[in-house]
Chain A
Amino acid sequence: MRSNIILTIFGKEIKEVLRDKRMLYLVILLPFFLYPVLFTLIGKVGADQQDKLSSQKVTVLINPEGQGTPVFDLLKADTTLELKTAAFDRAAIDTAKNTIGVWVAPDYAQQIAASGSAKVTIYVDESKDVLSLRKEVIAARLQALNQQILGERLRQAQLSESLIQPLAVETENVATKEQLVGKVMGGFLPMIILMFIFVGCVYIAIDITAGEKERRTLQTLYSTTASKGEIIAGKFLAVASVGIVSAAMNILSLLVAMQIQVSLMSENANSLSFSVSPQGWLWLVVLVLLSTVFLGALCLAVVLLANSYKEAQSYVSPMMMLILIPAMLSQMPGMELNASTALIPMLNISLAMGAVVKGAIDPGLMAMVVGMALLYALVALWLASRSFGNESVITGEKVNFRQLLGK
């Protein structure tokens, strides 16, 4: 194979990509601005919504028997609640707007005095966010009152509070802050990286294969002195380069978005610290490169079967599923990188990337993943070469898998 011919084809494909505004938006601009905008927007909208819900006035109906009890005083003290005394039933609360009902048992005072249990019922429509949130607040205040009464009763009986709490269970998290952030990031980061490598690869692959078939320019290319191997190599390099740029832009964008979040939440800045060791970065680069080789070659092999741009686009969703399903499986509880999962394409890459981000690198397993990923990448490249070598592809005719894998 002649490197000058491969580089000529590669250069031409990249020149066309750089002139395709749609591709630039998809591969560079969209990923670069996606996370910062998304994170900031979601954070801001979420915080605003929370403030709005917390300050919104909610009516609380309390039955007349509840008046004069500590429950009444407790609710009255909350300025965000509009307390009204009235008899009500479940149906009334169901139909009333923005209203919570608190029913206090008529024998409240007697029960408390006799060290009994006084019933307090909260009626609430929990399908409404504002009411659900306020119910939590009311329930917490009632729980505090409960603890207060309990404490008084224990003191009167000259008993220690430890009597009702024989076990003082405590949990101490020994994970570092980096590990905790890594756990969260390790869950979704591989999925995002793989998805955007695929998106980067697939659209250029469609343009330079099915698009060329549709325009009949592939025949022109095949009638030149460039060999099939040189054509595949040049086009594959272009697809893989765009895939890598897409993945790099995503990782960069994600880091920028996280920095913005950290600076916006200065008091919690330390809790968001996230770092990958130099060794981890090395593994990540290797994994991203191998994923790109695999996905790039797979995209070329599959979309070349289509006869038109439109038909090739219909192959995108099924291929996306092939990538997303293993990536999502990698986030299932208990799913971890081991000798079995290291054999499954895409799942192994997702788990390995997750392990790197979490800082749990097992060199033996990582080597196994790299070996398997390399094998799958070679199989995908072989498939792509079968696609390109097929006469029907050259002449722009329809190709099926049987033809591809046949003679």
Chain B
Amino acid sequence: MTTLIEARRLTKDFGELRAADDVTFQVGAGEIVGLLGPNGAGKTTTLRMLAGLLQPTAGEAVISGHSMNKEQRQARRELGFLTGDMDLYRRLKPAELLTYFGKLYETPAIELDARVKNLMAAFGINDFADRLCEKLSTGQKQRVSIARTLVHDPKVVILDEPTTGLDIMASEFILRFIERIAREEKKAVVFSTHNLAEVERLCDRIVVIHRGKVAFNGIPAELLAQTGKTTLHDAFFHLVQ
């Protein structure tokens, strides 16, 4: 399995506060890794360093073999990033928004046109294609956001609490999307969540971050064995208390 995401001893300080401390893990092609941890543990900071939004104080993020520090453009070209609280450009229509981001990734025009059409069909966006994004429902916005994440066909997808604030239908849509891109398209997926049911359903591996450090990195069964608990819920609480 080709490694597509590498967090190499990622460390981030905000003044006196060390938000992430020597965080190391890998994600392979077609693998789904769940990033778990209580609020303030350092999940978002880690994901932002992987996405190149934050410069690590020490360590390095490598995306599809490209260092985010040294080959940022190549690394970002292979990366799709989505957070649950991200909105869309209000006065653009879905197709315009997808084309805009495709152009930012310098996707060739003919290829971009085909990709936008395919994504709009795949995510059922054609039904509301003529409406501005500000007029879309939360679920419709979420579909456009996901399509936006994939418009440049990245090998790596990073999702920061993608289901936060969504209803059951919209959450289910996201979970199926994560499953599909990993299993069918062999993309490497890392996502942070507080929902352990999502983790049990999707994740091949979990990384638990506690007080900025990696407290566990392995398959769910290993976490149960290591903590001596029978449920992921109990094992997680055992680890972070």
Contact = CB atoms under 8 A, between A and B. Distances in A.
Contacts of A20: 91
A19 B91 contact: yes
Contact of B87 (A15, A216, A221, A222): A216
B73 A225 contact: yes
- Closest 7 A/B residue pairs (Cβ): A215-B87, A223-B81, A19-B91, A16-B91, A224-B104, A8-B103, A216-B86
A85 interface: no
Q: Which of A9, A15, A16, A225 has the most CB of B within 10 A?
A: A225
24 contacts: A2-B106, A4-B106, A12-B89, A15-B92, A16-B89, A16-B90, A16-B91, A20-B91, A215-B90, A219-B53, A219-B81, A221-B104, A222-B52, A222-B53, A223-B51, A223-B52, A223-B76, A224-B76, A224-B101, A225-B77, A226-B104, A391-B54, A394-B54, A395-B48
Interface residues of A, number: 25
**Secondary structure of the A side of the interface?**
helix
Contacts of B77: 225
Contacts, number: 73
B96 interface: yes
B76 A217 contact: no
B83 A219 contact: yes
A26 to B, nearest CB: 15
Interface string A1-44: 01011001100100110011000000000000000000000000
Given A15-B96, A225-B73, A225-B76, A217 B89 contact: yes
A176 interface: no
Contacts of B105: 224-225
Given A4-B106, A391-B55, 15 more contacts: A4-B103, A8-B100, A9-B104, A15-B91, A215-B87, A217-B86, A220-B101, A221-B104, A222-B52, A222-B53, A223-B51, A223-B52, A223-B76, A225-B76, A227-B73
A220 B81 contact: yes
A344 B91 CA distance: 40
Interface in B153-194: none
Contacts of A221: 104
